[in-house]
Amino acid sequence: MLLITSVLIFILSYCEANGNVIRPDQPSVVLTEGSSINLSCTFDGSAYSLHWYRQMPGSRPEFLLLIVKSTKTKVEASPPHPHMSISLHDNRVDLEISSAAVSDSALYYCALEPTVTGNTKTL
Ligand SMILES: *[C@@H]1O[C@H](CO)[C@@H](O)[C@H](O)[C@H]1NC(C)=O
């Protein structure tokens, strides 16, 4: 008997302000256990940093990784996820999952933190 175990990934995006857009390049992926993948989101507008989260069924969203656009500084979750890495390519942010496990099946979110453009004043 041949048993192929699948890893199911759904991708959503989250953006905190008007004028900034971030969207997944593909809404969902199915991969076989042990394979690797890049989840990609493309963004427009002025981003300060790009984030990846994931949510397991019945749990709160969990922070995975972020990258600051200007400095390329990366921040990991604690404890970190050693089989995940984040990278930035122009207006695309990738989350690479290497040798995916069935337990990586989840809803993944890419998020954009906009740049702050001065103080907001009420007229
Ligand atoms: C993900 O993207 C990086 C950088 O573009 C590349 O080096 C890597 O091979 C890609 N991984 C997969 C699984 O496609």
Q: Which of 11, 44, 6 has the alpha carbon at shortest distance from 110?
A: 11
pLDDT value at 8 more than 70? yes
Query: What's the gap in Å between 19 CA and the centre of ligand 1?
Result: 29
- Whether residue 37 is predicted with pLDDT greater than 50 in this model: the reply is yes
Cis ω on the peptide bond leading into residue 79 (within 30° of 0)? yes
What is the sign of the dihedral through the CA atoms of 31, 8, 64 and 87?
Answer: positive
Q: In what order do the strands lie in the sheet with 106-114?
A: 28-32, 6-15, 106-114, 47-55, 62-68, 74-76
Does 100 contact ligand 1 (Cβ within 6 A)? no
Q: What is the mean pLDDT of the chain?
A: 89
Mean pLDDT in residue range 85-110: 95
- In terms of Cβ atoms closer than 10 Å to its own Cβ (0-12, 13-18, 19+), residue 64 is buried
> Does the CB atom of residue 5 touch ligand 1 within 6 A?
no
What is the residue with the minimal CA distance to atom 2 of ligand 1?
Answer: 38
pTM: 0.87
* Residue pLDDT, tens place only, 38-61: 999 999 888 999 999 999 989 999
Mean pLDDT value of segment 87-113? 95
Alpha-carbon distance of 105 to 89, in angstroms, equals 25
CATH T-level assignment (fold) for domain 6-113: Immunoglobulin-like (2.60.40)
Whether the predicted pLDDT of 121 surpasses 60:
no
pLDDT at 123 > cutoff 60 = no
**For ligand 1, atom 13: residue with the closest CA:** 37
